[in-house]
Amino acid sequence: MKEVECIVLEDNKEYGILERIKEKDSEYIYLFNIEDPKIFYIRKTDGEILYGLDNDEEYNYALSLVRDKYKDLIDNLDIK
């Protein structure tokens, strides 16, 4: 089994890091709640501090980054 890097957010709950994507001066971090993996967050960091995203537009942009990174995998999913 693969070990997952974890962090604690401002709600004092532990989150696993699914992915990190560097873009411009920021790094987007994709997180899931360890106790309830259906809870999903995206945060960004400047290398020192973890920030929430600014707005829905930035959230959609961060989702597009992960979608583009895994485009070939997503395109080949057999979802019915």
Q: How many domains does the chain have?
A: 1
Residues of the domain holding 43: 6-75
What predicted TM-score, i.e. pTM, was given to this entire model? 0.84
Average pLDDT on 73-77 reads: 78
pLDDT tens per residue across span 54-66: 999 999 999 999 9
pLDDT digits (tens, 9 = 90+) for 18-52: 999 998 888 999 999 999 999 999 999 988 899 99
80 assigned to some structural domain: no
Which three-class secondary structure string do you get for 30-70? EEEECCCCCCEEEEEECCCCEECCCCHHHHHHHHHHHHHHC
Q: Is residue 55 included in any domain, yes or no? A: yes
